[in-house]
Amino acid sequence: MKITQQSTESTLTLSLDGELDASSSVLLDTELSKPEILNNQKVLIDCRQLNYISSAGLGVFISHLQTFQDAGVKLVFFNMQDKVHNVFEILGLDSLMTIVPSEVEAVAV
């Protein structure tokens, strides 16, 4: 798993590349736990290169969701592959989290 960051004035984009499983979820958890991440209005998660997500990976997002909501930070997923989107859908997470098809739509949320 490789995570790259790109930030603008009020938005941080994390691009996930590879498989988000039990071992790599620690890296994501570390990134999302940084206090400065809450200084952004939006955190966009680019899933274009995310090939797999395990329950541990989903758990990282779920565990940070309330903190983001309390801080007024929008968490938006985009460019999600069908097989990854299906996992979110099966677990009902697509109704809890904002998932949009493209970066343009993610920025507009």
- What pLDDT, in 10s, does the model give residues 7-41? 998 999 999 999 999 999 999 999 999 999 999 99
| pTM, two decimal places | 0.94
Q: At a CB cut-off of 8 Å and minimum separation 6, what does 104 contact? A: none
Check: CB of residue 101 under 8 Å from CB of residue 78: yes
CATH code assigned at 96: 3.30.750.24
Q: Give tens-digit pLDDT for 39-53.
A: 999 999 999 999 999
* Separation between Cα atoms, residue 7 and residue 53, nearest integer Å: 24
- Predicted confidence (pLDDT) per residue in 88-104, tens digit: 999 999 999 999 999 99
Residue numbers of the domain that contains 56: 2-108
Total of domains in the chain: 1
State the pLDDT at residue 45. 98
Q: How many CA atoms lie within 13 A of 8 on its CB side?
A: 8
Average pLDDT over residues 69-98: 95
Report the distance separating Cα 106 and Cα 39, nearest Å.
Answer: 18
Q: 49 pairs with which residues across the strands? A: 17
